[in-house]
Amino acid sequence: MLRINDTTPNFDAVTTLGKINFHDWIGSSWTVFFSHPKDFTPVCTTELGHMAKIHSEFTKRDCKLIGLSVDDVESHIEWAKDIEEINSTPVSYPIIADTDLSIAKLYNMLPAEEGSSHSNRTAAQNATVRSVFIIDPNKKIRLMMTYPMTTGRNFKEILRAIDSIQLTSKHKVATPANWQNGDEVIIAASVSDEEAKGIFKKGWRTVKSYLRVVDQP
């Protein structure tokens, strides 16, 4: 079972943009790896199209995008034509072909006994293959989310989470509920008041001894 801060499992794969080794492909970038149960499914079509539209937002954050669907490359390419037609934007990030279900199993999206072929499988059988992983440049999993079939993913929230994770990776702070980039943040509980004096020169606001609020670094 994968957990936060585990090294993201490596794999070799065929994608719409050629063959990759996942760790090599990540390189020194942040990565959003998001998966889909099957091509030509309605909710996923809107998701891939929206990701294509806001691809530049991820690029600003030094974050690569890569999708996965439990179908073959030829099917992905045909599906991408629909996605481009509907959204007026081409899909410029790679989509992995997980035809033997091995990557879905590696990432705990499907149980081991689910067979080894995408053929004759329905989207309902692959329902749990609707996950998002945020991976840092050290190949560590920093966030995992799995969505039901009927609920489209909120990519504004995924961008917000990336902003939070990148900020808190650089500074000894945490982000509160509903935080948006630029809002006040919380001094990490691991930082003593004495240490905080040397880090946060302008001071902070103490709500409780364990809840110290400060301007975003």
Distances (CA, A) of 60 to 55, 57, 90, 163: 9, 5, 19, 11
The four Cα atoms 119, 81, 50, 15 give a dihedral, to 10 degrees, of: 50
Q: What distance in Å separates the CA atoms of residue 118 and residue 66, rounded to the nearest whole number?
A: 19
For 48, other C-beta atoms within 10 Å of its C-beta total: 27
Beta-carbon contacts of 41 under 8 Å, excluding residues fewer than 6 positions away, are: 123
Beta-carbon contacts of 201 under 8 Å, excluding residues fewer than 6 positions away, are: none
The four Cα atoms 7, 127, 117, 17 give a dihedral, to 10 degrees, of: -60
Tokens 């609707």 locate to 130
Tokens of 139: 């190949």
Is 63 designated active site?
no
Q: Check 13, 26, 32, 44 and give the catalytic one.
A: 44
Q: Which residues are catalytic?
A: 44
